[in-house]
Structure 1
Amino acid sequence: MRGFKKYKVLYVMMLPAIAYYIVFHYVPMYGAVLAFKDFQLMKGIWNSPWIGMYNFMYAFSDPVFLQVLKNTIIISLYKLIFGFPVPIIFALLLNEITSEKFKKIAQTISYLPHFISWVVMAGIFMSILSIDGLVNSIVKLLGMDPVLFMGNEKYFRLILVLTDIYKSFGWGAIVYFAAISGINGEIYEAAIIDGASRFQRVINITIPMLVPVMAILLILSMAGILDAGFDQIFNMYSVNVYRVSDIIDTYVYRKGMIEMEYGYATAVGLFKSVIALVMIVTVNWIIKTAGGKEHSLW
């Protein structure tokens, strides 16, 4: 009680955030029971008949869902494998630049795409990669035939990964900039006296100091292993690339909002949430076992 009185202003400041999570995250969890019901609009959620695990069994017997699940895992893994190191590398490279003015300009430019919605970004990229766009104009100048990049299964996943990295790497590097700035400068000074080169200082000081931050962000990233990016894909894909780009989120949107199969859509969404929970707990345990408690979330 004494602690509450001492920090009562901070507790009051927390109230809007607590209210947000209760209203928009916890209260909607009541709707998860739809996954186990044959939802009938006139009867409502609670009075609709229970059907047990039927929606889940139907999902795993549906070849379309299995393809969607495969697409989601592949796209998410591509984004994680190729996207996770980019903010780290960018932060390390920028940290080695001595000009503070250039650093600030580079950081500001790298942040900007994060604040542009995927609706706008998708329009920009689709314009650049269209038949008459910038990329195909260069292709024509080189004497080659133009390519419909956005409608070609061969290139679409690559485009998704590259555009996602472009939009997010600057914002993702903020945490690493903060971690690097917190490293004791005396360690670098001692290394310089010992004759360590800039590369050796990065390898032996900076990167090891960033390992705890990397581990935590990796754990959080694994929670979204089935979150391949609804906003991005929904605004960029077309019927031509459904086979390689349709993911769980777009599938749920189509089943729930368009085909009105609310119970089935809820079951698929609940499956995704359970997998996310399992992944974050598993990766946290692996990192805790391999690297120590200080590298894990709990």
Structure 2
Amino acid sequence: MEKIIREFALLRYVRNCNRKGEFPKFQEIAKAMSPYVKEREDNKERKYRYDKQLFHRDREALEDKGCEIERNKENGYFFNEEGSELIDDLLTAYMLLTAQNKDGLLPMYVIPEPRRNTGAEHLPDCMHAIEEHYQLQLTYYDYRDEQTKTYTVQPYKLKHKDYKWYLLAVDVARPEIPFKSFALERIRSIEEGEFFSPNKQLDFVTPYRDAFGMFTDEQAERLVLEFDHRDGNYLMASPIHPSQRVVHKTDTRITFELYIKPTLDLVMELMKRSWSLTIVEPQHLREKFVKYWEEAIKRNKKVKREK
């Protein structure tokens, strides 16, 4: 855990410097990182120097996670944010980890979300297999057909969405598929297998660039969505997708344009704002929502009130 905290401390320091127009040199980075270099000896903590070898290892580990720290012409360093859509989530997790006290508890001023993250018990096994390049044998429960299945996978990435953790991995039995996502909450058993040589050409960024959530099975297209001012203000403060922009405002409505894949995850996200949502474009998405709403009305009208 200390290793992960140190890696994201490095990332956060470099990114914060860059956003102030600064490109820290190694000496500045080493000074900022020295509190994170620790080793236990005789039950005491002794701080060690943050040297270039450790800096190089941390950069490589971050690059494996899709977060690349590069060197510029002036021998300073910068974080290449392109393709790192998850960085804010990762840094938020880092800040919560570093806020924990020695007993592993959050400070009293942090009120945790009562809804728990599912599948977290499998994170250590998945993280170790990803970092050391070991295959995993999974016993996995499929919600669609309600069957338990076994998979041998080559793990590469972890993804987090809506209190759920997902493992992005290559299914050894289906090598023609670039990768699959496995929800950690559905894993019934997990065992480490043999070593594998990772495919460094696998692209985990592009499929999610125009997507919301986990599904990537649609083609990206232009969406025009209209909301009332309350929902519109929420969406301006917390956009659904990086492509989102305001194209029109009236006294009562705000219209947004997005270039995104209209997947099931996006449909579920927009459903949360059904009370003010108008789908201007595309027509096929509007018709899909109308069908869902009509079916919901029929189901709920059939429910008899209890006397």
Q: Under TM normalisation by the shorter chain, which class is it? A: under 0.3
More helix by share: 1
Q: Which has the higher contact order (CA 8 A, sep 6+)?
A: 1
TM-score normalised by L of structure 2:
0.21
TM-score normalised by L of structure 1:
0.21
